[in-house]
Amino acid sequence: MEQQEEKRKIKAYQRKSKRSKSGSSSIPLDLVSEILLRLPEKSVARFRCVSKPWSSITTEPYFINLLTTRSPRLLLCFKANEKFFVSSIPQHRQTFETWNKSHSYSQLIDRYHMEFSEEMNYFPPSESVNGLICFQESARLIVWNPSTRQLLILPKPNGNSNDLTIFLGYDPVEGKHKVMCMEFSATYDTCRVLTLGSAQKLWRTVKTHNKHRSDYYDSGRCINGVVYHIAYVKDMCVWVLMSFDVRSEIFDMIELPSSDVHKDVLIDYNGRLACVGREIIEKNGIRLWILEKHNKWSSKDFLAPLVHIYKSLSTNKFLLKGFTHAGEIIYVESMFHKSAKIFFYDPVRNTSRRFELKGFTDDEFVLSNEHGYTVHVFPNHVESQISFT
């Protein structure tokens, strides 16, 4: 059934592409689409203005999905004063093979900055979900597309609190993003849900079936159309893993594999949710608890040479940020000081690579700050041409 549906989409997309020629050019639109798919995402955004047929191609959902299948990137950003500095780099192995090397932005990274009129709330942004990120700035909820550099300000959900826990989900079947939120550190049996791109931009109340709260700065993880987050269930007096099916908007409760797991760290491991255990971290290793079918857990131990990272890179703290699609563990220095230090470790090959990302910004005031800035990191970020206009 999935293969038939995929073929139907391809044929419909090809029929639409062949209906006209690209303006006064003799190039068929199906050939134009093939060319556009081979260009950097910034160029695709610029060429949207060439003509209405070209704009139609680049905003077609199927074309957007094709773009997201390209090589993922590592997206980094930090806020300094009223500016938000953004940079992204390829994260595949072929990009950085040298252990001790600094890389300049002119060669490998894309960077820019955005300005904000108000101080951003301390609550961290959501994860990158199919190219979009959601965050809170003061009392406003904002959806951000780093590829198009567009911001979408969402209507404020009902309630008096400005401190919200935000989750962003994506339904791969219908191709829709949904924002879910609840008051931070407050116990409820409901949450608020909003579908992006819907005609009526209204928040809906969805029952969670269990009164729960989240006391951690947890952005959750969306994997295969399900959003996961750690929560405390009041009636049972226990911490659990909550799941939210983005398409059906149904909640489920999953028992944690161990009481000794990091409640603020959820990662995507080979397309499956994983919790990070505390058991062997002090012994230069980590234990992953991996969610399998029927909500069963399996465990896998990895060598993770954190001691070597501390000694060879700096005295600053490195944080586990997840796995690449190639199976490498990603560590990123928690604070930005003139450059961003990143470490990849492959536990299967027992190989590592690191680099110091320079050229993040030329702002002299930012570079002169001795205290540094908190870095937000988004592994496996994909480019998206979803437009909010």
What pLDDT is attached to residue 313?
39
Of 81, 139, 88, nearest to 114 by C-alpha is 81
- Residue 136, pLDDT above cutoff 60: yes
**Which tens digit of pLDDT belongs to each residue from 76-128?**
888 887 778 888 887 765 544 444 444 443 344 567 777 765 555 545 688 89
More confident residue, 87 or 69: 87
CB 374 within 8 A of CB 335: yes
Would you state the pLDDT for residue 386?
A: 83
β-bridge mates for residue 162, sequence order: none
pLDDT exceeds 90 at position 249: yes
Query: Do the beta carbons of residue 192 and residue 206 sit within 8 Å?
Result: yes
Tokens representing residue 140 in the block = 């406003």
CB atoms near residue 264 (< 10 Å) = 14
* Residue % of the chain over a pLDDT of 70: 74
Where exactly are the structural domains of the chain?
Answer: 35-70
Select from 369, 250, 266 the least CA-distant residue to 321.
266
pLDDT in tens, 196-225: 987 767 899 999 888 888 866 667 899 999
What confidence score (pLDDT) does residue 217 get?
64
